[in-house]
Structure 1
């Protein structure tokens, strides 16, 4: 089908081949280069399997939340047809895994209608044999596995290596064994291996760019399958010299002849697992590759070898166990892949220039890889196009936000700019990157302060309906997993929401060090917007629990946000007023200077005067809001009054005895001249001042 877009770019409608008898679930096939009809060039010389097609989409649908970013441009190459010969060949190869089963079990498995979907076979001594499918486990027999059954399987295999793995010649199947203390085999796991064309389609543009790519993900998510297909694309489609360092023979299969699934790539086997790093260096020195592919970088020596390869100008494609980038940064063994981290002590001048602490955590060196891909599941990936920038952002305490790529049922790939997640699913997420909040602030200004429609107004991040009086919190500089776990553990999923947008938040929840120095962009934006800021001494779960209880109104606190929603129903402008009043407490108690927040310095006159000065300059003069300071002794109150008089601002003293405190009022206060109202509690409704 041919369509014509408004920008005169031809669109070829991709098709999904019908699911043929006996074939595995069809997986869409890859894409190649971004191009227009005037720039189209041949991208390969494959004769039978693939044809080129371009998919150009402007997707702005919501997947959890509305996607942002430019028009999505992608090109996809798909199999024109799947021949019956190909189907028969795939089934014949899959049937080879049954050769390790006793005949009575092999026949039972082959008779299953969904045999082609089998994932692995499990044979444990003294237990019934199992066949695992995507739909669940299937018991192949009620009889238990005996030592004779295991001996039959071992006789069909080659010798197990020092990693307790073996294979079937010229197949991708992997057989792993379990041993007892004496070294005798007591269990086998037979994992079915498949070469799936199209499994790397979501990274085809990265593959073609020549960038070094690191694939991360949990075990079993499909990392090895992806780099096997990547090897085929690079060697066959892009005509590059590819060498695979195949430690466990998982990429190229068992035996001396590599599996056809790796295309024209060459495969180097490794004699011992401990020698993988030496084989990696040998591949570069002896065989002049343009690309080196490595599966499962897991030791410090292998990480250093990978860095050496990258420094020699060779494209590197590798995998590593790790659910997400943030956890890889904290891994002391593998952190060198992302450049390594180190604590740096700044000079006094540099710390003052940065407006931050003297000791900071920084990236030690350029990352080994240019791009990192988190494989969340087989159809959802998160891509960090600039790995160095992502690591730097994470080390500054920001939530790392990557590019979310989702593969649709029809095989097309949708790119959601800036998509990210608290956890490893495709649910919406929270982020603290300055760009995201700059966008939120800009949206507020464009809409006159009303902000965009809240994405959490009807459905919270946890899914389902939310309370009408729900509050929204923006975590900043905190572990998003910890905040979400605390909210879930307290049973407040419907009452307390997380939002990445400053204009949607009722309060910003952060740690105290973020308020020091005035160099945090988000804190400055929140203060400029009159947003409530609640700080904690640390981001530990007990501190988060205490903060959530206070904000949600469970514990009596002046910082409770529970009154906001009710007030808004009666007066839409009250949200800003209540938030401003709450911010007054924040400015007075959390100006970001340790000698103010410390209780041991309350009686010092210098601290009290600095508190008053900060309240005047940052809240009253800059924002036109009133500021109420902490209770002080009479002599300190007098000193604070003298300071406020020097700014020609009205003020009043509220409370009595030990609770006496100064309230600084804006210029448009209309209740009269400066007055001392000792012993009189202030009421917002009867006061003459108002906020702007």
Structure 2
């Protein structure tokens, strides 16, 4: 699916340029409506890949995050000279995770050897790979945006992979990307006396990357998300998408890659899969069924708020569950308040304007 705002990809005619192959094109009536067309492309057409010419506003950045959370592969361009330039752009920094100021405890600040107030990445990046176009035939490739941004905020300059296209058309790798220290070892060492296993590579199809990363982080298991289906150890998808004849799922079956089907699109379901995959027991301090449903309702409401930029009311809950909902909304970086009188008092989630 090609979202062609200015007809720069598929041309001005009613018939798209043959260069886009069999991809479908959605034209945009006016540039201000690009974010709405992006959301419409996902909700109405269920594409595997969306190509966007240029992301230039906060609404388009939030729409891109919504698309990525739904498991659709996203290819887009954005104006900026480098990753550092994009990170300091308040409008587009959400594409690479965003920045927030965090106050550390005295012990943590002493352990890190930094000030008590530091900058950290606010959320998982919308894009996993970032390519800087330095010249027509010279590219700088950041293969792991999350790790590069984390290191950049700690004062470590990025060392991307530099590729050069020769006049003959061959691609030469001028310099390899710097290898960050392996972060998966810490999670692997938490499995007691057993030998650490290699990281499980998960390919999400129509499953939110944020939910998978949150489950991995909370359980502390050695698992990573991959965009390369051939390198995946398992494909994670939803029951509603497994019934169709999706090309990615057919390819996974041909390559004998296991396909795991989740019943619902929730963090709890992802955690259950990871616990079973790594042979772990669920934590003793688990939430009740009502609490889990209430927090899952927050996840769905937040996605709607980000997509449509309008307030969403949740179901009435008791004071304890409302507090859990407020904490979860705060982690998403949105605003919430409680309205009404008990027993009909409920949480309302607002977008940040």
Q: TM-score when scaled to structure 1?
A: 0.26
Bigger RCO (CA 8 Å, 6+ sep): 2
Q: Which has the larger radius of gyration?
A: 1
TM-score (norm 2): 0.50
